């Protein structure tokens, strides 16, 4: 592991962190929106997202880096933001779902800008699967909005 990361190493670490962050965020928002009957849908998204953690940890290792965990303070602040949104928004459910959509867009942009797929067919397959999952998640979130 060197001090200077290649673009692919940086991309893989960023994707891994975003996958973990979004999984954790969906789990927290599922608890927050339990009374709106959205818990099962958001838990399902979180569980599907969790299936990408180990493959991305493997990608990071294959690129000569060590998997890193997201910043717990950042995650806490994001979850706190969801709770504040629920308290003060006139349409808290849609506001929280909009925040989820923003997180999906952030992950989609990282996927689109990465050249990691050029490294190997396995990486390309993983990135394509995650991109499809992100696209399906966006559709699910839009459908959940009232």
* Per-residue pLDDT tens digits for 29-74: 898 888 778 889 999 999 999 999 999 999 999 988 877 777 777 7
Greater pLDDT, 138 or 70: 138
Instruction: Average the pLDDT over each of 34-43, 100-109, 129-138 and give the range with the smallest value.
Output: 34-43
What pLDDT score was predicted for residue 92?
Answer: 78
- Give the model's pLDDT for residue 79: 75
The model's pTM: 0.85
CA distance 115 to 82: 32
Of residues 83 and 60, the one with the higher pLDDT is 60
Predicted local confidence at residue 145, as pLDDT: 86
Confidence of residue 86 (pLDDT cuts 50, 70, 90): low
Q: Which run of H or of E encompasses 36?
A: none
CA dist 130 → 3, 51, 68, 87 (Å) = 28, 10, 19, 32
Taking residues 124-133, what's their average pLDDT?
96
What domains are defined for the chain?
Answer: 7-144 (1.20.1260.10)
């Amino acid at each position: 592991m060197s001090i200077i990361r290649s673009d692919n190493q940086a991309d893989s670490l960023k994707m891994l962190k975003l996958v973990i962050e979004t999984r954790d965020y969906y789990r927290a928002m599922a608890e927050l929106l339990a009374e709106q009957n959205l818990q099962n849908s958001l838990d399902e998204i979180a569980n599907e997202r969790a299936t990408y953690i180990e493959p991305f940890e493997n990608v990071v290792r294959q690129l000569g880096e060590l998997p890193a965990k997201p910043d717990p303070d950042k995650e806490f602040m994001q979850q706190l933001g969801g709770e504040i949104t629920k308290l003060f928004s006139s349409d808290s459910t849609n506001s929280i779902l909009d925040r989820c959509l923003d997180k999906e867009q952030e992950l989609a942009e990282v996927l689109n800008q990465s050249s990691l797929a050029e490294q190997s067919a396995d990486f390309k397959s993983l990135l394509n699967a995650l991109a499809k999952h992100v696209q399906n998640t966006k559709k699910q979130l839009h459908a959940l909005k009232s």
